Amino acid sequence: MRRLGPAAASSPTIHLTGLRVPRAGKITAKLFVSTRAHGAGTAATGAITFKRSGAVTLTLRVSHRGHTLLRFAMLTQLHVEYTPRGGRKRVADLHV
């Protein structure tokens, strides 16, 4: 997450690697960005459904407005939801 910023503003996607899931289910993620001059909003979203436990790479698609927000980002927050198959949703927020 620390490498986000002006470099991420020019890329159409952001890849999150190193995620490990305990069992089959679905992960959804939103990247919220706050700036001084350009306001705040959702810069990128992504979701992945998987059939077994193990390592997962999640790809976030950066929106048109997200490019501007990431360019001038002061505060970023990654909101991740994990819903296992047949289980309840778990939520994690990462502040950078």
Across the chain, mean pLDDT equals 88
Q: Tell whether the model's pLDDT for residue 10 goes beyond 60.
A: yes
Tell the burial category of 2 from Cβ atoms under 10 Å away from its Cβ (0-12, 13-18, 19+). Answer: exposed
Indicate the CATH number for domain 6-95. Answer: 2.60.40.2550
Render pLDDT for 27-51 as a digit per residue (tens, 0 to 9). Answer: 999 999 999 988 999 999 999 999 9
User: What pTM did the predictor assign?
Assistant: 0.83
